[in-house]
Amino acid sequence: MTKQFYENYWEGQNDYLSDFSLKWPKLKKFIPLGGSMIVDFGCGNGKILGEIKKINQKAKLIGLDVSETAIEQAEKDLSDVEFYKVNDGEKFPVKDNSVDFIFSSEVIEHIYDTENAFKEIARVLRPDGKVLFTTPYHGFIKNLLITFFAFNKHFNPTGAHIRFFSKKTLLDLLNKNNLTPVKIGYYGRIYPISHSIFVLAEKN
């Protein structure tokens, strides 16, 4: 059921997602340069990987996604990037301690087995390697406003989001997996009602 949901989602979705203009100006400065191995976990149709390639043409790029449809679209534009289909709750097809940087934007809120995802990210990162997460922000004030004014819309059971992260719950998962936050920020609207939170973390 989950698999078909995302095959349907990516069918005909060949453009940038709607939040690209919000997040990319904030996030692109964290992309490492040089001969790095960079993984986009939840790469979708590959648009962000294309932007990463513009910043660092020397990097080895890998895209991971649950959707075969999305990967097929990405491969058309990025024939020199390695793409792998991954399933929720399973191991990544990437070696231990081999990745310099993982990018994962607006993905973890779609995952059932979040503990496995964080564990796998920590496994494949090399020591001192970094991961950049973004996810919709759920802080106290924003949650109150959602409850009073937009509960049914925000928590619509037909929507794709199944996890809702506060700053604390996100940091708890990072710390549990020996991933130390080095930069925390927000984008979209103004804090404390920001659209999303981003965290850059380093493997201990």
Identify the CATH class of 33-180: alpha beta
Question: From the CB of residue 186, how many other CB atoms can be counted at a distance below 10 Å?
Answer: 19
Give Cα 59 distance to the centre of its chain: 19
Nearest one of 58, 95, 107, 101 to 80, comparing CA atoms: 58
Tell me what pLDDT residue 31 has: 98
Q: What confidence tier does 170 reach under pLDDT thresholds 50, 70, 90?
A: very high
Domain ranges of the chain: 33-180
Per-residue model confidence as pLDDT tens digits over 140-158 = 999 999 999 999 999 999 9
> Taking residues 7-22, what's their average pLDDT?
94
Q: Are 125 and 203 in contact (CB under 8 A)?
A: yes
Tell me what pLDDT residue 12 has: 86
In Å, how far are 47, 55, 149, 168, 177 from 203, measured between CA atoms?
A: 26, 23, 39, 18, 8
Long-range contacts of 84-93 (CB under 8 A, 24+ apart): 87/3, 88/2, 88/112, 88/113, 88/116, 88/117, 89/113, 89/116, 90/116, 91/120, 92/39, 92/41, 92/64, 92/120, 92/123, 92/124, 93/64
Per-residue model confidence as pLDDT tens digits over 49-88 = 999 999 999 999 999 999 999 999 999 999 999 999 999 9
